[in-house]
């Protein structure tokens, strides 16, 4: 799924064109050493701004964590199915 504003990744999240009106302002507070490191990365990694560097970091975090979160959801669903099967077995065979 994609459109003229961006492209979709494998997780279904939309990667937006950063120049569009769909950006939302978020204010954060960071330790001074993080800001210095961020400024260093802006210089050496050729990011045009802190905002672009932070967007890239958040995007990378989301891509990495979405797969982990989905694995957890799948394991929880499997555990719930197993528990339901155990309860059914208990009701059918052990409570007679």
Query: What is the model's pLDDT at position 92?
Result: 86
Q: Which domain holds residue 76?
A: 2-94
Q: Is 1 in contact with 8 (CB distance < 8 Å)?
A: yes
pTM as predicted: 0.54
Residues 6 or more apart whose Cβ sits within 8 Å of residue 62: 13
Give mean pLDDT, residues 87-95.
Answer: 86
Chain segment 24-52, per-residue pLDDT in tens: 999 999 999 999 999 999 999 889 999 99
| Spatial contact of 39 and 49, defined as CB atoms under 8 Å apart | no
C-alpha distance across the termini of the chain, in Å: 53
What are the beta bridge partners of residue 7?
2, 15
Closest CA relative to residue 18, chosen from 40, 49, 64: 49
Question: 96 pLDDT band (50/70/90 cuts)?
Answer: low
- State yes or no: pLDDT of 2 exceeds 80: no
Q: What is the pLDDT of residue 43?
A: 94
Domain count, the chain: 1
């Amino acid at each position: 799924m994609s459109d003229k504003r961006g492209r979709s990744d494998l997780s279904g999240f939309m990667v937006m064109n950063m120049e569009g009106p769909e950006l939302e302002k978020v204010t954060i507070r960071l330790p001074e050493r993080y800001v210095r490191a961020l400024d260093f990365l802006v210089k050496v990694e050729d990011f045009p701004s802190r905002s672009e560097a932070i967007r890239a970091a958040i995007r990378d975090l989301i891509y990495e964590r979405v797969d982990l979160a989905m694995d957890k959801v799948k394991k929880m669903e499997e555990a719930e199915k197993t528990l339901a099967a155990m309860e059914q077995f208990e009701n059918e065979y052990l409570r007679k």
